[in-house]
A and B are shown apart, each in its own frame.
Chain A
Amino acid sequence: MSDVASGVANVPAREALSQPGAAAVVRLAAPWLALAVAFAILPAIFTSGSALTMLSLMGIMIVFALSYNMLLGETGLLSFGHAVYYGLGGFLAVHAMNTIIHDRLPIPLPLIPLVGGFSGLLFGIIFGSVSTRRAGTAFAMISLGLGELVASSSLILRGFFGGEEGVSTNRTKLLHVFGLNFGPQIQVYYLIAGWCLLCMIAMYALTRTPFGRMCNAVRENPERAQFVGYNPRMVRFIAFSLAGLFAGIAGALAAVNFELVNSSEVGAGQSGLVLLAAYIGGIGSFIGPVIGAVLVTWLEVMLSDVTDVWQLYFGLLFIGMVMFAPNGIAGLIMMHAPLWQARAYRPMLRLALVYLVALAPALVLLAGLILFTEMTYHLSVKATEGTTISVFHIAVDAASAKSWAAAAILIAGGFWLFRMTWPVVGAAWHEAFAQARGAGSVK
């Protein structure tokens, strides 16, 4: 199921490996060079301070979500407690920074993520030795229990976790190299971008090794993996520890970025967020969690500005993805890959037009649902602040029957029209594939 998507994406890379020479190296390195250039010029395009902060958060989340996907996507281990390694990596990084500042050790800031990585690896080995004895549902429940264990302990061991307010540090007080003091956010962004690129390459390379393949085998059929001579428990254990390593790096990057780590970083909220990010993006391909991390970070920052109930929309989006698009956004995009490869541009254009037509009633439906939700929320929680609210910059009186009628009409009408477009979209889809097949390039 999930290998279809990654298989399609990886064909060029595999061909490149088999043919030696400079051309192969270029083809292998080109996407990463392009990514490096993109990382380098992004701050020049999005120049505002808030955009830079968001880009930094995205970089951290990409590493975290990809490390999570080493478990869920690659090895089939559903974890509800991945923030443990992220958070503990962050805490140890902060303590390391404070020790370095206190003892004036000659260690510069860019090396701090290594501390986080090693602590993530260490705790991954400790907890992994217990939890990877089981797979499937039992593993999921154990990861949840271990997550709660660490989260509850973080409120008890106040000396190490700093209690409610957490542990803070000052990133500018470490040894300066090349005149960088990491005071301005732009320097921190480049530090995060550099580590992000490094981790992405490392995690991608890992999926291409025999070990990465064994992870997939253990995910698909542990019994057969055992028959070819691999111990599924050992494969799960190694994958789990390595996922802890990269989560720890992400946690340390977050510690450097915020100069503060508190106990919520190891908690269930953070674990849930990374699960949402990876799944919404798509766990079936390498690019999926990257898309998810970027989207979820953006939504988190943007939505929490506009509405108080943003987490509800978030949860509904997640349920929608689980029900209708289990391969995530990347999966939806990959569905069209055969058309692209067949160079069937004209059918693709027509399909895109049909999508646009279907999008209009869907947006109407969405607007109705949002209006309904916001009015309910306002009347039940914020009734004392008057009944007028602003939805999409339009003043709406939540107490009048007219507003509720409008919401009902938008929902019912939008759904009815949206439902009518489904057969049209389906027909356009089949026609596009039929035409591409007619051209002879899609099997």
Chain B
Amino acid sequence: MLELVTISTLNGVLYGMLLFLMASGLTLIFSMMGVLNFAHASFYMLGAFFGFQISQIVGFWPAFFIAPVLVGGIGALVERYGLRHVHRHGPVAELLFTFGLAFVIEEVVQMIWGKAPVDYRVPALLDFSAFTAFSTNYPAYKMFELLTAIAIFAVLLAVLTRTRVGLIIQASLTHSHMVAMLGHNVPRVFMLVFGVGTGLAAVAGVIAGPALVTQSNMAGLLGPILFVIVVVGGLGSLAGAFLASLLIGLVQTFAVSINLSVADVLGGIGVAPPAGGPLFDLWNVTVAQIAPIIPYLLLVLILIFRPTGLMGTREH
């Protein structure tokens, strides 16, 4: 039991930090430009595929640095030549533009790398077990992922709160006109934030790719969970996104390790669940099986009891 709790906590925090790598960029972009980037998970997928392709040529470590820069560059170009023009048509058009972009990126990835998973492997340098907790070998690569995510989190926090660039970004979040009047190029700040945000998503993709499956459906699998995080955390709240990322990371990791169903519980207290009927599955589904829908159930609960999200303050 203790073993399960320890390992699941580690995995949950790791998953949560990876989610936050993406949710942070998404939140920054949203609070600055009012655009919820529907294609954010697609940039994460691009990061994984670029990481795979580049590591085939020059090895994992150069790819670890090159891929996010490339993806961030693509993100900046998308902002400069796409999103900026759609802006005048209003927020719905912007959201639809990124929706179309997600659609196109998925198709392009399928066109180039096919629908089957690619063979993106953990680098040999990290292919050993870091430590043995109880009887489980914990892979060193996962520790590397966790440390990378925490390091980026620390750097991001330091840049946003302690540097001049961070101050300008923070100021543009709320008073973009005033920042522009002080002589700063606000559209360029937007482009920078969009590029860095998508680059962060790509970092998550590069390091998560070898541990998970690098496949053309990975954006579609992760995207909706990302949006659950920003709504549960409260749209535009970075602290809320952090909380929600960890919460969903932990909840989902723990859920997959619990093999219990309603029928088991009822059986335990001596009640037989009804057999048959169109919904008889409801009684026999285990918690592990419903793990994928738990984030969405959480979303519904949050909306009923706290419609603005955990840390959200105002209606958008």
A residues neighboring B (CB under 8 Å): 72, 76, 78, 80, 95, 130-131, 133-134, 136-138, 140-142, 144-149, 152-153, 156-160, 268, 272, 275, 279, 309, 311-312, 314-316, 318-319, 322-323, 326, 373, 376-377, 380-381
Contacts and interface: CB of A to CB of B under 8 A. Distances in A.
Interface string B297-310: 10110011001000
B104 A95 contact: no
B74 to A, nearest CB: 15
Contact of B103 (A78, A142, A145, A272): A272
Given A145-B227, A149-B296, A156-B289, A377 B111 contact: yes
B100 interface: yes
B231 A142 contact: yes
Interface residues of B, number: 53
A95 B279 CA distance: 13
Contacts of B36: 137, 140-141
Q: Mostly helix, strand, loop or mixed at chain B's interface?
A: helix
Contacts of A141: 36, 227-228, 230-231
Contacts of B162: none
Contacts of B304: 130
Given A149-B300, A152-B293, A380-B114, A315 B107 contact: yes
Given A78-B96, A322-B96, A312 B111 contact: yes
B281 A319 contact: no
Nearest to B88: A326
B281 A381 contact: no
A138 B235 contact: yes
Q: Which of A146, A158, A268, A312 has the most CB of B within 10 A?
A: A312
26 contacts: A76-B92, A78-B92, A78-B96, A137-B34, A137-B95, A137-B316, A141-B231, A142-B231, A144-B224, A145-B231, A145-B300, A152-B293, A156-B290, A157-B282, A160-B281, A268-B220, A309-B110, A312-B104, A315-B100, A318-B96, A318-B103, A319-B82, A322-B86, A322-B93, A323-B82, A381-B110
**Residue of A279, A311, A315, A381 with highest tally of chain B CB at under 10 A:** A315
B93 A130 contact: no
B52 to A, nearest CB: 14
Contact of A144 (B86, B104, B227, B316): B227
Contacts of A131: 303
Interface string B88-109: 0101110111011101100110
A79 to B, nearest CB: 11
* A133, A136, A380: most-surrounded residue (chain B CB, <10 A): A136
Interface of B: 30, 34, 36, 82, 85-86, 89, 91-93, 95-97, 99-101, 103-104, 107-108, 110-114, 220, 224, 227-228, 230-231, 235, 277-282, 285, 289-290, 292-293, 295-297, 299-300, 303-304, 307, 315-316
B107 A130 contact: no
A133 B304 CA distance: 9
B302 to A, nearest CB: 10
A158 B281 contact: yes
Contacts of A146: 296, 299-300
Q: Which of A137, A268, A380 has the most CB of B within 10 A?
A: A137
B205 to A, nearest CB: 20
A319 B280 CA distance: 44
B111 A373 contact: yes
Contacts of A148: 224, 293, 296
